[in-house]
Structure 1
Amino acid sequence: MTTALPYFLAGNYAPVAGELTTHELPVTGAIPSELAGWYLRNGPNPHDAAGGHWFFGDGMIHGVRLDQGRAVSYRNRWVRTSTFTHGAQTEGPRGEDLTAGPANTHVVRHAGRLLALVESSYPYEITAELETVGSYDFGGRLRTAMTAHPKTCPTTGELHFFGFSRRAPFLTYHRADAAGDLVLTRPIDVPASTMMHDFSMTAKHVVFLDLPVVLSPVPPGSGLMPYRWDETYQARVGVLRRDDAHGEVRWLNVNPCYVFHTVNAYDEADSRIVLYVLRYLRRFDDEQAGHPHAATLWRWTIDLDAGSVHEEQLDDRAGEFPRIDDRKAGLPARCAHVTTTRTGADGQHGAITRYDLHTGATIGSHEFADGQVPGEAAFVPANDTPDGPGWLVSYVYNPTTDTSDLVILDAEELDAKPVATVHLPVRVPFGFHGNWIPDRPTVTG
């Protein structure tokens, strides 16, 4: 009797077997000449083809270099973490080794450093050629794990992030200045270790999400996620003023839900914050019947004077991996781009959908044909005007050829055919997050 493989080891979730560098890739269409740099995207790729959960696989970064209208090269490299090279995690001062982790979730640039991130451990610094430099702890100042979703302030260049832990203090807020120096560390009191994957930032505030997916120990080696849905835990958001980083965190209740990813937030007034999220009704609850587990776009308006949060669903299509023009992070961004899915008579279709965040309306969608599946689409600006024209870049899997392409779309003409499609000779497994890393860095990472 043949035992079926778990989903994360089958199809395009399955890891690729090795590392590759290839040059002068074929292109359909025309790569914009303005694009000079790397598109890098991170994701799980267990090097021993094992592991008990998709989230646990060793990080592999896939990169395509573009320059002068050419697809110069593709390469993929594992992040050589201590887990990758030495296996089992060792004990540290707090009972955990923060260099041990898969570094499989995101890749960002700040203060000239490229960092591969996972929320359970330290970042790992890599080079533009995807070689691993080593774990990075901000010169010894960082003593917690680091979220995979830091936020770069487009005004100050500061990097805002947090670390959550299985041990108290469960949540710690950090801030690094534009030069990359860690200048603020502040523990925040929360009642339990919750699975806090993302947060948000405005010009005046930082917003934390304390939601009812709570630490729940599992047998060692089981491969199960050690966090479970908890009906008794109150879902809430926490608001901290940036100019009073050691001051009070205001906690406001929201309806039970889970959020992997925020879209953006901004200050509508001194005491009112607008926050966009991809909201699940439930997660990590054994996929109980009757509880849809697709995320949809919601707007939460936080009223600090009233002590309340108004929650409004903006769309009913399933979506994930939201991105904006990062130069509008914490400001009233006009547009967001979400990787969405819809189910029709001929099966499930993937798309990249553009939303007007001011109205909540859909203002464009690129529907992929023949079962092709897009990943996250990073926004690449075309000029110096934030929220202006630009391109969206995404790896797209083609099940017919069992290969992947790097697809470049005009963000303002999503209904049109791709501007360019870079044909890769290999498959890029489904993964998580990445960024366009231009040769000429901007303020944001």
Structure 2
Amino acid sequence: MEELTTYELPVSGAIPPELTGWYLRNGPNPRDAASAHWFFGDGMVHGVRLEGGKAVSYRNRWVRTSTFTDGAPVRDGQGRADLTAGVANTHVVHHAGRTLALVESSFPYELDCRPGHELETVGPYDFDGRLTTAMTAHPKTCPTTGELHFFGYGAAEPPYLTYHRADASGALVVSRPVEVGAPTMMHDFHLTAGHVVFMDLPLVYDRQARGMPYGWDAEYGARLGVLRRDDPHGDIRWFAIDPCYVFHSLNAYDDGRGRIVLYVCRYPALELKSLPTLWRWTVDLTSGKVVEEQVDDQSGEFPRIDDRLAGLDARFGHITRAGGPGAGPTPGALIRYDLHTGTSTRHDFGPGRTPAEAAFAPADDRPGGPGWLLTYVYDASKDTSDLVILDADDISGGPVATVHLPQRVPYGFHGNWIADPAR
């Protein structure tokens, strides 16, 4: 796929004039069209610029990591990890004025989204030398404090897991090791107003595995580790759960009665025909028990909320239903859950149209208020993609607007709506 810059994109419908900024989404796109695993492809960020009710431009750029530009190996001649050598292919987030492309095996890479410098790679970012581990692709920003919470994991030697916290200005202020039984693949975690919750699940490092160097080991067990945010170097309480795997959390919150409520897309095991469904875990900090409940039997992934409610009792959550291994001809849809009432609504994109993750873009400054859901949708009949904008409060209706893109956006992972700063 070539890198393009295209202006004045055609639009069906009407783009809300309140949307001024970038919709950015990251994903793997091997430059040489060969990769040992889908997860290993070079990161490419696809961006649509919206402004004044118009789709001003589309552009896609590979993230110029040292792996991409120089073929830098992950380890040097002494076997030490080079944390600048990664593919930066999983997520793109914005915090403290920086836009970061992320992959969980290395440092983030900063992108330049200023006018005239759109999506150019600035370079690796290590929080002014304070970050000494890899960084998860799923950091969480606290809407109350502005802090960025994240972790890094690795397989070379203990500690296999380290928790980090950056303040609202972007300064890394907390780094502490977390003791776990083995190097496991920890893709995501949870944040509430009062706690951080880690998922120590049975996908364990296996040097002999082909492709991804992790293997399913149900005997390892599964557990949740709860750390109080007001005591970041304190003890972590561990709670056993049934063996499973979770790539992505929807949200978590403290219920005010000594319990933590977590929503996840849960796989019963990480096997070819295993599909994720939405589950709720309730951790009782008094009894030490976890109640595990399946919320829905529809499979889906890439869960999102209004991020201004991260760690709080968000009423609505959204999951993409786009099929998967063993799913058969699953129709592409977006499901909106009312987590307070237990009901759901959906938007079907139609035959041959496959949606990706949908990010929330707010209409005003009220967390949990009105807004839109933005997602790239691939149309197999035309071999092209669109940016589809839906009214979050009425997703079963037709799109508010469809931005027609000049080329296909390959299947990818995560992204965000990054609004321009208020003037």
Short-chain TM bin:
over 0.9
Distance apart, 1:112 and its partner CA: 0.1
Detail structure 1 runs of 4+ shifted over 2 Å in the superposition: 90-94
Distance apart, 1:342 and its partner CA: 7.0
The SS at the match of 1:85 is helix
Tell me if 1:162 matches 2:151: yes
What is the letter of the counterpart of residue 123 of structure 2? G
Partner of 1:131: 120
Partner of 2:135: 146
For 2:32 and 2:199, locate their aligned partners in 1 and report how far apart those are by CA, in whole Å: 35
Distance apart, 1:348 and its partner CA: 2.4
For 2:258 and 2:226, locate their aligned partners in 1 and report how far apart those are by CA, in whole Å: 10
Partner of 1:3: none
Please say if residues 5 and 59 of structure 2, whose CA atoms lie closer than 8 Å, have aligned partners that are also in contact. yes
Please say if residues 63 and 121 of structure 2, whose CA atoms lie closer than 8 Å, have aligned partners that are also in contact. yes
Partner of 1:102: 87
The SS at the match of 1:38 is strand
Please say if residues 277 and 297 of structure 2, whose CA atoms lie closer than 8 Å, have aligned partners that are also in contact. yes
Distance apart, 1:361 and its partner CA: 1.8
Distance apart, 1:441 and its partner CA: 6.3
Tell me if 1:308 matches 2:289: yes
Distance apart, 1:341 and its partner CA: 4.4
Distance apart, 1:388 and its partner CA: 0.9
**Unaligned stretches of 5+ residues in structure 2:** none
Distance apart, 1:384 and its partner CA: 1.1
The partner residue of 2:174 within 169, 175, 184 is 184
Distance apart, 1:218 and its partner CA: 2.9
**Unaligned stretches of 5+ residues in structure 1:** 1-16
Q: Give the alignment's TM-score, normalised by structure 2.
A: 0.96
Partner of 1:38: 22
Partner of 2:201: 211
Q: Deviations over 1:84-116 (max 9, x none)?
A: 011141535872100011000000000000000
Identity fraction in percent: 66
What is the letter of the counterpart of residue 184 of structure 1? V
Partner of 1:401: 382
For 2:101 and 2:408, locate their aligned partners in 1 and report how far apart those are by CA, in whole Å: 21
For 1:310 and 1:231, locate their aligned partners in 2 and report how far apart those are by CA, in whole Å: 20
The SS at the match of 2:132 is coil
Tell me if 1:359 matches 2:337: no
For 1:398 and 1:311, locate their aligned partners in 2 and report how far apart those are by CA, in whole Å: 37
What is the letter of the counterpart of residue 102 of structure 1? V
Gap change, CA 1:94 and 1:202, over 3 Å in 2? farther
The SS at the match of 2:24 is strand
The partner residue of 2:253 within 246, 266, 269 is 266
The partner residue of 1:428 within 387, 390, 409 is 409
What is the letter of the counterpart of residue 219 of structure 2? T
For 2:171 and 2:323, locate their aligned partners in 1 and report how far apart those are by CA, in whole Å: 44
RMSD: 1.5
Q: Count the aligned residue pairs.
A: 414
Gap change, CA 1:405 and 1:230, over 3 Å in 2? same
Tell me if 1:332 matches 2:313: yes
Partner of 1:195: 185
For 1:208 and 1:441, locate their aligned partners in 2 and report how far apart those are by CA, in whole Å: 35
Q: How does 1:231-250 map to 2 (within 5 A)?
A: 231-250=218-237
For 1:253 and 1:39, locate their aligned partners in 2 and report how far apart those are by CA, in whole Å: 39
The SS at the match of 1:203 is coil
Partner of 1:276: 263
Tell me if 1:68 matches 2:52: yes
For 2:292 and 2:146, locate their aligned partners in 1 and report how far apart those are by CA, in whole Å: 31
For 2:339 and 2:413, locate their aligned partners in 1 and report how far apart those are by CA, in whole Å: 23
Please say if residues 348 and 371 of structure 1, whose CA atoms lie closer than 8 Å, have aligned partners that are also in contact. no
Please say if residues 198 and 262 of structure 1, whose CA atoms lie closer than 8 Å, have aligned partners that are also in contact. yes
Q: Deviations over 1:341-395 (max 9, x none)?
A: 479xx94211011001123321x21101121000000001111111111000000
What is the letter of the counterpart of residue 217 of structure 2? D
Please say if residues 251 and 311 of structure 2, whose CA atoms lie closer than 8 Å, have aligned partners that are also in contact. yes
The SS at the match of 1:349 is coil
Q: Give the alignment's TM-score, normalised by structure 1.
A: 0.91
Please say if residues 317 and 342 of structure 1, whose CA atoms lie closer than 8 Å, have aligned partners that are also in contact. no
Gap change, CA 1:441 and 1:149, over 3 Å in 2? farther
What is the letter of the counterpart of residue 152 of structure 2? G
What is the letter of the counterpart of residue 349 of structure 1? P
Please say if residues 315 and 340 of structure 2, whose CA atoms lie closer than 8 Å, have aligned partners that are also in contact. yes
Q: Deviations over 1:175-228 (max 9, x none)?
A: 000000000000010011111000010000000000000000037xx5x10001
Partner of 1:28: 12
